[in-house]
Amino acid sequence: MTTTPHLALHTLREGHGLPVLLVHGFPLDHRMWEDAAAALPSGITVLAVDLPGLGESPLGGEPPSIEAAADAVVDAARAAGIERAVVVGMSMGGYVALAAAERHADFVVALGLVDTKSTADDDAARANRLRIADAVSESRTVDAVLGMPGALLGATSKVARRGLTARLEEWIRSQRPDGVAWAQRAMAARPDRTQVLARFAGPVAVVVGEEDTLTPIEAAEHLVAAAPGATLVVVPAAGHMSAVEDAPAVANAIGDLWAVARD
């Protein structure tokens, strides 16, 4: 396995004390967290990473894996002088956050799991990811994932927050095809990490958009059932992109997690 050079780590808010480290979903980058970071209480240091091959980060090594992505996130933070953090991941970012909790328990003080799940793919989902990865690699375009905003946004946002579809499309269009393919292959290879939650010693906050159809409320309830003492926040009128669709609600949940972790 080759390692990933340092990932891009963006400071979204300057603060002090225990930092919050935000990990984005697929096929996006740190920009999806800008609104939530702005809505967090002042005084908290808020960082957001770009996962391998996405945003401003270099492509990951081979073979693609969520474990390599998690190691690279923690390496980037440590290189920036951060030894512990509240790690918050959205969807694919949640897979990475869980892998980080498993592999770097000393680094992950608290876990925020936003519109994500701990289970692995079934055979059909895995095959679909590999098909998309091949299509993106062969065409050298992100065309195969350009339609994703339709699935990412909740029913309410598609009607009431019309600008969001274009915003998501712009973020997706700006990604590197090889980075999109790497991420799909990494997600296809990931194991079930439900047991990581049972062993995790720190506080856990689970957040889900009420209208999330990709990782629905049942997936969030599965996370909560696995993690002793975890809290569940259901964001009304939001889908899989609750962190963008209702950034203040998600920021509120992250702020509460940070306050518990800091004590």
Which residue in 54, 181, 187, 208 binds ligand MLT (CB under 6 A)?
187
Does 250 interact with ligand MLT (rule: CB under 6 A)?
A: no
Distance in angstroms (rounded) separating the CA atoms of residues 63 and 162: 38
Does 25 interact with ligand MLT (rule: CB under 6 A)?
A: yes
Which residue in 9, 22, 26, 196 binds ligand MLT (CB under 6 A)?
26
Contact present, 160 and 245 (Cβ < 8 Å): no
Strand partners, 114: 90, 207
DSSP state of 89: E
Listing DSSP states for 205-222 in one string gives: EEEEETT-SSS-HHHHHH
Distance in angstroms (rounded) separating the CA atoms of residues 10 and 108: 18
Which residue lies nearer to ligand MLT by CB, 214 or 234?
214
Contact present, 13 and 47 (Cβ < 8 Å): no
Under rule CB under 6 A, which residues in 195-214 are in contact with ligand MLT?
A: 214
Which residue lies nearer to ligand MLT by CB, 168 or 224?
168
Does 175 interact with ligand MLT (rule: CB under 6 A)?
A: no
Does 33 interact with ligand MLT (rule: CB under 6 A)?
A: no
Instruction: Report, in angstroms and rounded to the nearest whole number, the Rg of the chain calculated over CA atoms.
Output: 17
**Pairing mode, strands 9-13 and 231-235:** unpaired
Minimum CB separation from ligand MLT for residue 92, in Å? 3
Q: The tokens of 254 are what?
A: 């992250």
Does 260 interact with ligand MLT (rule: CB under 6 A)?
A: no
Does 118 interact with ligand MLT (rule: CB under 6 A)?
A: no
Which residue lies nearer to ligand MLT by CB, 37 or 187?
187
Which residue lies nearer to ligand MLT by CB, 29 or 71?
29
Which residue lies nearer to ligand MLT by CB, 44 or 97?
97
Under rule CB under 6 A, which residues in 40-99 are in contact with ligand MLT?
A: 91-92
Amino acid at 92: M
Q: Which of 256, 259, 254, 7 is nearest to 114 (CA)?
A: 254
For ligand MLT, the binding residues (CB under 6 A) are: 25-26, 91-92, 187, 214, 240
